[in-house]
Structure 1
Amino acid sequence: MGSADLAGRVALVTGATSGIGAATAELLAERGAHVLVAGRDAARGETVVSRIRERGGTADFVAAELADAGSARRLAQKATELGGGRVDILVNNAGIFPFGPTAQTSPADVDAVYDVNVKVPFHLVARLAPAMAERGSGAIVNVSSMVAEFAVEGMALYGSSKAALNLLTRAWAAEFGPYGVRVNAVEPGPTRTGGTAGMGEELDALAARAPAGRPAEAREIAEAIAYLAGDAASFVQGAVLPVDGGRTAV
């Protein structure tokens, strides 16, 4: 186990059964948080929980098929119960990213992307942030994307959903910040995960445009999320932090 600066806090991480979410769950647990690993796949979720427990951390799996307001409300309720009546840290990581030409994008895909990437975080914050505000403390970290900042062919739908999440991040900082709840976001660049494995050389080509010249590892994104969730970022509110190897800077 590492430093215990998050000891005593309950952290809910969505999409936490693999990739960036799993890396974030494990890192928050290393820092002392009781982590609620939310996701669809119970087997993968229990694997993440087992890894955390084997290292001396505290974690529980929460089954969540995040697709609409009702599913978000149910997760918020279950997480609060598992957390002993509280959730102190919310990481909105769950997301879907179908790419392709606008004209070939189905109405169902449009609805699904906005339901998962925008509406679910909205409803989770609506359910969990007021209780954080009542207690006078809390941290919310939204996982956005570098393509919220610039145009990439075939990513209009995904990029626009993450641009919406960036605006929500700033609006929630204004709404809940005065009550001690910090709301920030990270914008990952190309990252090696199970979800991006199928991109192959396309992932490397996307990453090659950045000064770092390579894709990120999931742990590198998790470090930024953990920073924003912790006390080291106590004066950081409404920030959208690029973690993209410098891509948006050049």
Structure 2
Amino acid sequence: MTSTPDLTGKLALVTGASRGIGYEIALQMAAAGAHVIAVARTVGGLEELDDKIKAAGGEATLVPLDLKDLEAIDRLGGVIAERWGKLDILVANAGILGALTPVGQMKAKDFEAVMTVNVTATWRMIRSVDPLLRLSEAGRAIVVSSSVAHKVKPYWGGYATSKAAIDMLTRVWAAENAKGPMRINLVNPGPTRTAMRAQAVPGEKPESLPTPAQTAAKIVPMAAKDLTHTGKIFDVPTDTWTDAALPTPL
């Protein structure tokens, strides 16, 4: 999936838009014609994104928001409804890695932070904008997952558990909307040259990985109006769709 769809007149909400893959998705969707609602904690990153989008002739609305503020997520749906009346695209990209540590030694505050940002906030965002996506003629939801959701990888208990939960939540949401025009899918970006990847694999050479722009270019087409897949996982490294990845055999 490499062809950029025409998103002229579409309204796209992208979380984690101040850096990395989310930043590039927002930039590329704006270049394709979408008005981007860019959500992130880092104001400086959002302002830089806004400058780039405007310089290219695009439009964006910046929403500085910490996803741990769950009530603010609830309010966001109401604001979008009042201003635009619908939402065409949701990209639930924001997430945190948390501590890579044995399950029995994980601090409660670290586990709770990962689950709040990666799972609870994503669910609250889905709940907040689901009615708005239903009002679009071709609502599209792209939820960022990870291959570790389907692998038994020591020390990754917090992050992997959060992504496994998101996978199931998204697939159930897709099944509930299978008969309508909405398309709801997961994406595994794969190894990408981001700050989170450097934190997770500190010894890796960044130049050996795809850039966030390259990864985003494969994700943006998931917002296309003619997309037929729903309830699937798109694997960026292999450029393939699957119903669900199977766990690594023990």
TM-score range, shorter chain: 0.7 to 0.9
Deviation at 1:177, TM superposition (A): 3.1
Counterpart CA distance in 2 for 1:200 and 1:163 is 20
Runs of 4+ in 1 over 6 A off after TM superposition: none
Q: Relative to 1, partners in 2 of residues 1:56 and 1:135: Cα closer, same or farther, differing over 3 Å?
A: closer
Distance 1:113 1:122, change over 3 A: same
Equivalent-residue separation in structure 1 for 2:113 and 2:174 (angstroms): 26
Q: How many Å apart are 1:3 and its aligned residue?
A: 6.2
Q: Name the structure 2 match of 1:97.
A: 97
User: What is the CA–CA distance in structure 1 between the aligned matches of 2:17 and 2:236, rounded to whole Å?
Assistant: 19
Residues 128-186 of structure 1 deviation map (CA, whole Å, 9 limit, x = unaligned): 11232244430000001111121222111101111111112211111123221110011
Identity of aligned residues (%): 34
Higher helix content, 1 or 2: 1
Shift of 1:225: 2.1
How far is 1:16 from its partner? Answer: 0.3
Tell me, what secondary structure is at the counterpart of 1:191? coil
Correspondence for 1:239: 232
Inter-CA distance 159–24: structure 2 relative to 1 (3 Å threshold): same
- Kept in 1: contact 2:5–2:224 (CA 8 A): no
Distance 2:172 2:115 in 1: 18
Match of 1:173, SS state, is helix
Task: Provide closer, same or farther for how the CA distance between residues 129 and 76 of structure 1 changes in structure 2, counting only shifts above 3 A.
Answer: same
What amino acid is the match of 2:108? P
Q: C-alpha separation between the residues in 1 aligned to 2:112 and 2:200?
A: 23
Q: Give TM-score, length-normalised by structure 1.
A: 0.86
Q: Are 2:178 and 1:185 aligned?
A: no
| Residues in 2 aligned to 1:134 and 1:159: alpha-carbon distance in whole angstroms | 33
Post-superposition CA distance 1:49-91 (Å, at most 9, x none): 1111101111121111101531321233344455x23221010
- What is the Cα deviation at residue 115 of structure 1? 1.1
User: What is the CA–CA distance in structure 2 between the aligned matches of 1:130 and 1:81, rounded to whole Å?
Assistant: 13
User: What is the aligned counterpart of 2:213 among 210, 219, 239?
Assistant: 219
Which shows bigger deviation, 102-111 or 131-140? 131-140
- Gaps spanning 5+ residues in structure 2: where? 240-244
2:143 aligned residue: 142
What does 1:17-36 correspond to in 2, within 5 Å? Answer: 17-36=18-37
Cα RMSD between the aligned structures?
Answer: 2.5
Residues 3-12 or 48-57, more deviating: 3-12
Cα distance change on mapping 1:151 and 1:55 into 2, 3 Å: same
Matched AA of 2:91: V
Alpha-carbon distance in structure 2 between the residues aligned to 1:70 and 1:171: 23
- Tell me the residue number matched to 1:210: none
Q: Look up the SS of the partner of 2:203 in the other structure.
A: helix
1:77 is aligned with what amino acid?
A: G
| Equivalent position SS for 2:215 | helix
1:36–1:193 CA distance, 2 compared to 1 (3 A): same
Work out the CA distance in 2 between the residues paired with 1:68 and 1:50. Answer: 26
Instruction: Give, in whole Å, the separation in 1 of the partners of 2:43 and 2:211.
Output: 24
For 2:230, the aligned partner's letter is Q
Rounded Cα–Cα distance in structure 1 between residues aligned with 2:144 and 2:113: 17
* One-letter amino acid matched to 1:226: V
Using the alignment, how far apart are the partners of 2:48 and 2:156 within structure 1?
32
TM-score w.r.t. length of structure 2: 0.86
Runs of 5+ unmatched residues, structure 1: 208-212
Q: 1:81 to 1:196 in 2, by over 3 A?
A: farther
Query: Structure 1's 48 and 80: CA in aligned 2 closer, same or farther, altered over 3 A?
Result: farther
Matched residue type, 1:242? D
Q: Which residue of 1 aligns with 2:61?
A: 60
User: Aligned partners of 1:166, 1:153: CA distance in 2, in Å?
Assistant: 20
Mapped partners of 2:202, 2:97: distance in 1: 17
